[in-house]
Structure 1
Amino acid sequence: MTRSMTFAVLISSLLLTLLTLSLLDKRNQVRPIDNEIFFYYKLDQRLDSLATIQKAIETKYALIDIKQERLGLDIEGLFRKARDRERDYPNTEKSFYRAVSNLWFLDRVRQVVASFQDTHLQVLPLLELPTVHLGFQIHHVDQKYIITGMDSDLEEVLEIGDQIFALDGEPIDLITRDLQQYISSSSPSYREQLAVQALTKRSFRYPKSPRTRLTIRSRNGEIKDLTLAWHYDYEVIRMDAMHYLQNRGFSYKESPALFDTGFSPYRSPMGLVDADDWYGVEDKGRLMFRTGFMELNKQTAGVIQVYSFFEHQVSRYQSGKAKDWDEPISKFLKQLKAKNFPLILDLRHNPGGHVDLPIQLMSLIARSGESYPSYMEGFRVTPNIIQTWERASPLSAASRDEKRAIRQLRRAVANGQGYTGTWEKTDPIKADQDVKGFDQPIVALISPQCISACDIFALLLESSKRATLIGSTANGTGAGFFDWAPFSGSTWVDMHEIFQMEIPNMLFSHGLPEGPAEYSSSTSVIRFNRENRPVSSDIFYQTRREDVLSGHRGWYGKAFQVLLSP
């Protein structure tokens, strides 16, 4: 072959390669972005932001005294140390290093706020960051890190059930512990779960290299190293992050909400029949709950997987008439009553929502002739809370709950107290008038991913003893958000519009079966509060390998074992 022919072949090969690249899936092709210009956080602006975050927390945060008391948190010392550390990072002029400086600052602030150990109190960039991902997910089960889901294009090199030992030669336990520093959580177990998720998908602590080396043991026992690429995905283009990612050699690829292969908590558990999925009306992609039947050892039970309390109306996916949230559940419970079937309530993946829906659900499953205490509510007395309650209707026209809140707030202000007393949110909870009492046995599955309003429902189950709780703990939040237009009591943005925070301003706690409906003492709201003190299960169970590889089989097997026990 002549030199000219060789050159021609090389040119033809190059053109073919370019043509092949041009025909690749368009979703994974992003034109390089001219991202030299972005808002750079100079030292004085970084110090400003830290000072205003501290001030916002001290002014608005309902749990501030509880955190100081229970965690020994020195808030002034925490932020002083953060400001001192910030002075170690002087201003820079080069665009790439400015991008790095911005991203590291966001991480450092995230680490400071994570010290409050509150799932609700999260500081986020106002302009969200792209997510980086490896295309698979990991769960930590049976003291092992195993692959439980992946994109279909990784199936030739990975397998569900493969065990991960290290990333780039570093033990995976050490990486997980490092990531936990940046995660806001009211319980250690939830923090660890989120850190495990962040091993392969996150929007903080960006990797330094676009490729990572995995050390894995396959299901057949073979130990091998495998190199995979990190990709980025974004909803909004953020120039400093794009500048970093593209200059480092990261490539774009969409991150699916649900993996093609593997485990998802939103898929039906193995053995569930006649499954009926109900979605939010406002957000049609949000699965609110699922009902169905399951049989094991000739025993049939009804199952309700409660995924969200975020919407008051539901419908079947993209079709069907909108119904009140409780209507399909009421109908299903009446079916169980007619057949004398017990109930399994699955609360393991519920981030919360509206606080009235847990009370509705408690009423639906209440035994006939019984009543249960509601949860308790109270406030830290802040300028925002005082002004927000000025929006309330006159006392004579207010609801019973509003009357109690206004009465407690007036008393606290008059006495110069930092907190109101506490009061029951509603009258004692009795059986729903449509269901007319549900007397069948109930087991409820809980996990640290039962958060906020789900924590409230777990408190109701704990105080009423209405269900046997299986799992470890709920999340352990003890505060929520109270807004009354035009006041947004919970949302805050810093002076440079770098950060936003949702700052909890309402406190809740368990109801007291023998206690009064209202406590005047301002110490009661702190004494009863359950922040960092999650509901614990009656029977311990943690997710195991068989659950993530075989559709929750262990969880539901445990539920049936409890239901069938004498």
Structure 2
Amino acid sequence: MLKYIAGIVLALNSFAMNKSVFSGSRFFYYDKEDRVEILEDIYKQTKAEYTLWEIKKRRIAVDGDQVFTNAIEREMAIEDVNAPIDQARANLDFITRVKEVIATFEDTHFGINPVLNTPWVLNGLDANLIDGKILVTGFYDKVLAKTISMSDDGQNISQISMGDEIISIDGIEAREYAKSLEKYIDGSSKGFREYRAANLVMARYFSYPHRTFSDIEIKVQKLEKTIKVRLPWYASDNTKRKDALFYFKNKGFPTLDSFRFKWNESKRVWEKDSSLKFRGWNGAALPEGAIELENWKSAATGGSTIVRSAIILDKATAYGFLQINSFSVRELFKGQEKKDFISAIRGAVQYFKEQELKVILDLRNNGGGNGNFPEQVLSLLTEEGQTYRNTTWAKRLTRYTRQFIDYYHTDELYQEISNEEFWQEMIDQIFFAVNDNRNHTPAITEGFVTADKEVGGFTNDIVALISPNCISACDIMSMLLKSSKRATIIGTTSNGTGAGYWSNDKLSTNFEDRFHIFRTNIPNSLFGYPGSDDTIVFGEDSAYELNSENRPVIADIEYVETFEDYKNDSSGWIKKAIEILK
């Protein structure tokens, strides 16, 4: 009898554990039980592995336990729905809410997205925050052409041009509308969150509109008046999410699938063409009037510009221009010629030295990458005989940290690293922290920076351009330039990150919840400002004190981007830089 009862209980428990498999008849619906379990998974893993867990509470008063407790309670209060259209919307809204939870930590490195990507919706305009206003900075020509041909507002829409101010969206003042999106942006500084939110008011992949269109007020320069136009939201068909496809189709959102083809007149056939013909500002473009010397890209054919050098002339005076758009690519290409990242930069610096040119170093749109590259770049720019303090690093003691160190035998570890002395010190400090039951190691400096032997010292004046889009390793580059005073920094701030990823061939910072709904990388390594003296290992609380998270580099001279920079490829930036270099 007891065995019989136990069998019934086991069967009921098995059904309870698997019941959510049957949620949703047309696609997998995340019911309340699923949503809570997903958040619990993310909560446990974040608390266990996130290197900034304690630091965020001290620095910006974000209590991770409370953040996730509140999020779980919110899901518990949201009742399940039954109709497929409601379930589709509920899934998409849950994804948005989870993005909001993670964005609460205000960390550009710590974002979260669904394993099956959510589609974009867009209305044909591109927008950015400039001079405190939301301005039109680009167009998706295929999309707008379709809207113009079908809309009663077509004539007015066709008059919208670059620089026109967006006044309101669906009756909400444009800046306020953008602010409503900031809570979903994973950003380590306010400037970056404001920039990204403004950029997403006309095109985004979360917080989807409930209507198939938006009513937008725009101050149109050509018409010399403010007009209101209705722009449809076009949903991307480039997704594998059945819930999203079901929702947009049944709600009547127009899709982008009809734009994926073009007519070949000579062959008299339709051909695939995924381009939406974007026309607008490119932050990585060569400044107006610059004469390009070299353009090193990420691939031999095509690819994006990683390192570019040029000459800028101003009233018969020449200036060197060096643009570094990423620290993430080790091998660069100029046609069929190949160089490693540092060699490409070294060549430009050597040329500027030979020509005795003052230098403009453009870091404004550098998304980061290898954290060891910035010190090597500073070495190229260092004067002969000079020594500068380097970046500091620290670790939070977690199961991952312990496993990472345990994985290696000392000899194996040293085969993969270039700075044996630093890493031996880091390993020692990890074990000291374990023995003392401390949450973090102290901050440790990775040696000192001296002049590159091949360049042989570089004394030319340098101005560096930064913005909130200078992220991660670019934050490190900005910190080194600021600490060394090797360059005068112009702009507002860098991004303000202070944590990255520490992984190897076996252990990864990647994480997915138990149902494989969400994927994220959890930052697990701390970096920060150089110390103030020749110390190698700093004080017990130095992991917090020197860490740069939410503490962006502040420019020496403020320059706020204007529309002229968008229209004339950074003309205002260059004018300001030359003014300082004269």
Decide: shared fold, TM above 0.5: yes
Q: What is the distance in 1 between the residues matched to 2:347 and 2:64?
A: 50
1:509 matched to 2:528:
yes
Q: CA deviation at 1:371?
A: 1.3
Amino acid at match of 2:235: Y
Cα 1:267/1:397, change in 2 over 3 Å: closer
Structure 1 residue ranges without an equivalent (≥5)? 1-34
Instruction: Out of 100-109 and 137-146, give the one that drifted further.
Output: 137-146
Q: Residue 26 of structure 1 corresponds to which residue in structure 2?
A: none
User: Secondary structure, in 3 states, of the residue corresponding to 2:138?
Assistant: strand
Cα 1:257/1:387, change in 2 over 3 Å: farther
Amino acid at match of 2:337: K
Amino acid at match of 2:51: A
CA contact (8 A) 1:376 1:509 kept: yes
Q: CA deviation at 1:260?
A: 3.9
Which of 548, 551, 561 matches 2:579? 561
Which of 163, 167, 171 matches 1:161? 163
Q: What is the distance in 2 between the residues matched to 1:344 and 1:491?
A: 37
Q: Residue 285 of structure 1 corresponds to which residue in structure 2?
A: 303
Matches within 5 A, 1:393-404: 393-394=409-410, 398=414, 399-404=420-425
Q: CA deviation at 1:328?
A: 2.2
Q: What is the distance in 1 between the residues matched to 2:302 and 2:371?
A: 21
TM-superposition CA deviations, 1:320-345 (whole Å, max 9, x none): 12211122221121111111111101
Q: CA deviation at 1:100?
A: 0.7
TM-superposition CA deviations, 1:255-310 (whole Å, max 9, x none): 98896432110222111112532112499523212111111233211111111011
Cα 1:396/1:51, change in 2 over 3 Å: closer
CA contact (8 A) 2:391 2:476 kept: yes
CA contact (8 A) 2:298 2:306 kept: yes
Q: What is the distance in 1 between the residues matched to 2:245 and 2:376?
A: 46
User: Secondary structure, in 3 states, of the residue corresponding to 1:45?
Assistant: helix
Q: What is the distance in 1 between the residues matched to 2:232 and 2:58?
A: 45
Q: Residue 21 of structure 1 corresponds to which residue in structure 2?
A: none
1:447 matched to 2:467:
yes
CA contact (8 A) 1:38 1:240 kept: yes
Q: What is the distance in 2 between the residues matched to 1:283 and 1:180?
A: 37
Cα 1:355/1:508, change in 2 over 3 Å: same
Instruction: Out of 340-349 and 231-240, give the one that drifted further.
Output: 231-240
Amino acid at match of 2:252: G
Q: Residue 242 of structure 1 corresponds to which residue in structure 2?
A: 245
Which of 394, 410, 425 matches 2:431? 410
Q: What is the distance in 2 between the residues matched to 1:339 and 1:272?
A: 16
Cα 1:206/1:290, change in 2 over 3 Å: same
Instruction: Out of 377-386 and 271-280, give the one that drifted further.
Output: 271-280
Q: What is the distance in 2 between the residues matched to 1:234 and 1:185?
A: 28
Amino acid at match of 1:187: S
Q: What is the distance in 1 between the residues matched to 2:498 and 2:161?
A: 40
Cα 1:59/1:339, change in 2 over 3 Å: same
Q: What is the distance in 1 between the residues matched to 2:221 and 2:316?
A: 33
Q: What is the distance in 2 between the residues matched to 1:197 and 1:282?
A: 31
TM-score (norm 2): 0.87
TM-superposition CA deviations, 1:106-154 (whole Å, max 9, x none): 1111111111111111111111111111222112212222111112344
Which of 469, 472, 479 matches 2:489? 469
Q: What is the distance in 2 between the residues matched to 1:536 and 1:273?
A: 30
Q: What is the distance in 2 between the residues matched to 1:258 and 1:249?
A: 21
Amino acid at match of 1:420: T
Which of 127, 131, 135 matches 1:138? 127
Cα 1:60/1:396, change in 2 over 3 Å: closer
TM-superposition CA deviations, 1:135-180 (whole Å, max 9, x none): 2211221222211111234483421121110112221122111101
TM-superposition CA deviations, 1:75-110 (whole Å, max 9, x none): 222222212211222222211111111011111111
User: Secondary structure, in 3 states, of the residue corresponding to 2:337?
Assistant: coil
Identity of counterpart residues, as a percentage? 32
1:550 matched to 2:552:
no
Q: CA deviation at 1:395?
A: 6.6
Q: CA deviation at 1:453?
A: 0.6
CA contact (8 A) 2:288 2:569 kept: yes
CA contact (8 A) 2:219 2:225 kept: yes
Instruction: Out of 416-425 and 119-128, give the one that drifted further.
Output: 416-425
1:534 matched to 2:536:
no
Which of 170, 175, 179 matches 1:177? 179
Matches within 5 A, 1:90-489: 90-153=79-142, 154=144, 156-220=158-222, 221-233=224-236, 235-253=238-256, 260-281=278-299, 285-316=303-334, 319-394=335-410, 398=414, 399-425=420-446, 427-488=447-508
Q: What is the distance in 1 between the residues matched to 2:413 and 2:25?
A: 58
Q: What is the distance in 1 between the residues matched to 2:413 and 2:81?
A: 60
How many residues of Structure 1 are paired with residues of Structure 2 in the alignment? 525
TM-superposition CA deviations, 1:362-400 (whole Å, max 9, x none): 111111111111101110000001101122332797322
Q: Residue 23 of structure 1 corresponds to which residue in structure 2?
A: none
Amino acid at match of 1:465: K
Q: What is the distance in 2 between the residues matched to 1:245 and 1:285?
A: 33
Q: CA deviation at 1:238?
A: 0.9
Cα 1:258/1:544, change in 2 over 3 Å: farther
TM-superposition CA deviations, 1:234-258 (whole Å, max 9, x none): 5432111111111122222269889
Q: What is the distance in 2 between the residues matched to 1:315 and 1:536?
A: 33
Amino acid at match of 2:444: W
